[in-house]
Amino acid sequence: MIELRRLRYLVAVADEGHITRAAERLGIQQPPLTRQIRLLEEELGVVLFERLPRGVRVTEAGRVVVEEARDLLARAERITETAKRAARGEQGRLAVGYTSSAAFHPFVTQQIRAFRDARPGVVLALTEDGTPELVNGLKEERLDAAFLRSTATDIAGLSLEPLLEEKMVAAVPVGHPLAGAGKVALADLAEETFVFYRRPTGPGLYDAIMAACLAAGFSPTVGQEAPRMASTLSLVASGLGVAITPASMQRMNVEGVAFVRLRGTKGLVAPLLLATRKRDRSTLVDRFRREVSAAAQALREA
């Protein structure tokens, strides 16, 4: 296999047209350079330079080899730079997942965009799914990080970092008696039929809402369960019940749904968390985790 060092010598001699000047450019002595060129000619089995009284001239075969050498050296340089960028967390692939409710939190979209804009060499692969599926994706190394709403699942081997907490609101059909209310107590919804986010998909939010209703003195009547938060709002818009959702879901602007703030529901919040693997040593993942964590801390302290 031809050494890259000899290809660099070859290109230098071709550029200079003179062994001595090429040696000066390379920072080596002339005799070793001459010897390396001869060894390269022997290795290739062709004459690369025609020796002249003053300097050298590239042969026809030499011209072809020089062009190939330039290409190989450029590719080697790109490989070196790519490796360095990957080590700095500036290149590679990052697979990020999020639950359907987390997808509408502005913090999530802001952090994904900021990371992408700062590192155009990183390919971001995004996945929306339920909490159990995202957790499995992390464990099976199909995902590198995931924005979750719940800790109520098997997170063995994962690191779960709390980021932010978000208020919950009531979603009611437009035209509902409470649709125009400024704020309502959870107890005001005791006689309503509820649309819940399916528990296997979002166990944390399901359990938190159920516990808050019980604390308010009633057990909610669940008429429908939806696999996605967006589906929950569609069912509300169809008049099939009311729902309790993270406040950021208002950004969906679903026609037929009115959002009402809740009062007296201390502790009823939608957490936002970032999950990663504990033993993941990827520089890229570590940078993402640290930058997301720092941004969340800045918001909490603002």
Mean pLDDT along residues 288-295: 95
- Whether the pLDDT of residue 104 is over 70: the answer is yes
According to CATH, the topology of domain 4-87 is: Arc Repressor Mutant, subunit A (1.10.10)
Share the mean pLDDT of the chain. Answer: 88
Taking the CA atoms of the chain, what radius of gyration do you get in angstroms?
32
For the purposes of burial, counting CB atoms within 10 Å of the CB of 57, is it exposed (0-12), middle (13-18) or buried (19 or more)?
exposed
Number of H helices, E strands in the chain: 9, 12
- Whether the pLDDT of residue 188 is over 70: the answer is yes
The residue written with tokens 């009531």 in the block is 170
- Whether the pLDDT of residue 199 is over 80: the answer is no
Q: What is the pLDDT of residues 13-40, one digit of tens each?
A: 889 888 889 888 989 998 988 999 899 8
- Whether the pLDDT of residue 96 is over 70: the answer is yes
Q: Choose which CATH entry (3.40.250.10, 3.50.30.10, 2.40.128.260, 3.40.190.10) describes domain 92-163+271-301.
A: 3.40.190.10
Instruction: Say which residues have a Cβ less than 8 Å from residue 36's Cβ, sequence separation at least 6.
Output: 5, 6, 9
Helices (H), the chain: 4-16, 19-26, 30-44, 60-87, 106-118, 131-139, 203-215, 229-237, 283-301
pLDDT of residue 202: 63
Q: What is the pLDDT of residues 132-151, one digit of tens each?
A: 889 999 999 999 999 998 76
pLDDT of residue 86: 58
Mean pLDDT along residues 113-124: 90
Mean pLDDT along residues 172-192: 91
Q: What is the pLDDT of residues 238-277, one digit of tens each?
A: 999 999 999 999 988 889 999 999 988 877 888 999 999 9
CA 294/CA 75 separation, integer angstroms: 37
Closest by CA to 207, choosing from 147, 132, 156, 268, is: 268
pLDDT of residue 142: 93
Q: Calculate the CA 80 to chain-centre distance.
A: 24
CA 45/CA 59 separation, integer angstroms: 13
The two domains 92-163+271-301 and 166-268 share their CATH topology (first three levels equal): yes
- Residue 106 has φ and ψ, to the nearest 5°, of -60, -30
Q: What are the extents of the domains in the chain?
A: 4-87, 92-163+271-301, 166-268
pLDDT band at 112 (very low <50, low <70, confident <90, very high): very high
What pTM, to 2 d.p., does this model score? 0.69
Give me the percent of the chain exceeding a pLDDT of 90: 48
pLDDT of residue 88: 60
According to CATH, the topology of domain 166-268 is: D-Maltodextrin-Binding Protein; domain 2 (3.40.190)
pLDDT band at 165 (very low <50, low <70, confident <90, very high): very high
Cα–Cα distance list, 74 to 78, 253, 262 (Å) = 6, 52, 63
